[in-house]
Structure 1
């Protein structure tokens, strides 16, 4: 079963859509799904990955509303059927 990414702010603009479905399913990792996303939408990869291919420190990656970088196993978090992933750029304001 494919996995859906929800993209916010300029990430949605770069992707050309607020939701992107990728070929990642239960048993794959968040990193697998992110790789599928950035391969399909290179402009998103330019924004969220460093030149070395690592996730930029200010990007938040959520799985079912939980930040995988803080509360789970990071990009090694294993996907379960029906998971919804989301990418958030840094939030600023004043």
Structure 2
């Protein structure tokens, strides 16, 4: 069963759409799914990877079922399970919040 990535902000713009299916399934890793995504949508690579093309930029957030795998799981080595939802977020910068 293919895995779907949800892409946000400029990542969706670079990919040309907000949802991209890749050939990764249960037993594969988040890193495998990310490799498939970047192979399918090479315009994302320069935004997601460091200049060496190997390391993930530190500001990029990778979520599996709403959990940041880089912080709370096994990073890109996190194993996929059937039905997992993957998401890729660029850095989020906030503005001020007006409180009343």
Q: Report if TM-score (shorter chain) is over 0.5.
A: yes
Moved over 6 A (4+): none
Partner of 2:73: 72
| Distance (whole Å) between structure 1 residues aligned to residue 46 and residue 71 of structure 2 | 23
Q: Which consecutive residues of structure 2, in runs of 5 or more, have no partner in the other structure?
A: 96-100
> Alignment partner of 1:83: what SS?
coil
Superposed CA RMSD in Å reads 0.6
* TM superposition score normalised by structure 2: 0.92
Equivalent residues, number? 94
Shift of the alpha carbon at 1:46?
A: 1.2
Larger Rg: 2
Partner of 1:35: 35
Partner of 1:89: 90
Partner of 2:57: 56
Shift of the alpha carbon at 1:44?
A: 0.8
| Distance (whole Å) between structure 2 residues aligned to residue 36 and residue 51 of structure 1 | 19
| Distance (whole Å) between structure 2 residues aligned to residue 44 and residue 9 of structure 1 | 12
